[in-house]
């Protein structure tokens, strides 16, 4: 059996879980994961049992209780609706060419200015 240290670096834990390090930091703020801090530096360390717990939870979601991705429908009615939506978006984007700044576009849409 390989030796597994009791604490992992944030980088290593993120690699094992297949997420970004920032995701682990966010999960800590949200209370999803418990991280330890080194006394002098304040660097985070991830308990190995937390990584195992999260791996179990993440894999359990893939067993059928998670969101199922499906390809878009290709029937004639769906394609007609998609083309109609694309036409509306193209017309809206064409109308934006007259406005020169993001602030002007946002002011016209929401009635407020984004810049002071």
Q: One digit per residue, pLDDT tens: the chain, 116 residues?
A: 566 678 999 999 999 998 999 999 999 999 889 999 888 888 889 999 999 998 888 877 555 555 555 677 888 998 899 899 989 888 877 776 665 666 776 677 676 555 55
Q: What pLDDT is stored for residue 38 in this prediction? A: 87
State phi, psi for 106 to the nearest 5 degrees: -65, -35
What letter does residue 87 receive in the DSSP assignment? H
Instruction: Say how many C-beta atoms besides its own lie within 10 A of residue 98's C-beta.
Output: 9
Domain ranges of the chain: 7-64, 76-110
Q: What CATH architecture applies to the domain 7-64?
A: Orthogonal Bundle (1.10)
- CA distance linking residue 47 with residue 36, whole number of Å: 7
Q: What pLDDT is stored for residue 116 in this prediction? A: 55
- Give this prediction's pTM: 0.49
> CA-CA distances (angstroms) from residue 10 to 3, 25, 45, 55, 64?
18, 9, 6, 15, 29
């Amino acid at each position: 059996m390989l030796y597994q240290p009791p604490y992992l670096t944030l980088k290593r834990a993120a690699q094992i879980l297949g997420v970004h390090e920032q995701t682990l930091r966010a999960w800590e703020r949200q209370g999803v994961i418990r991280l330890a801090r080194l006394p002098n530096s304040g660097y985070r360390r991830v308990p190995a049992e937390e990584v195992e717990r999260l791996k179990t939870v993440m894999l359990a979601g893939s067993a059928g209780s998670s969101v199922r991705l499906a390809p878009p429908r290709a029937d004639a009615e769906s394609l007609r609706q998609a083309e109609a939506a694309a036409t509306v978006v193209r017309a809206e984007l064409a109308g934006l060419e007259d406005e020169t700044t993001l602030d002007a576009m946002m002011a016209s849409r929401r009635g407020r200015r984004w810049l002071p």
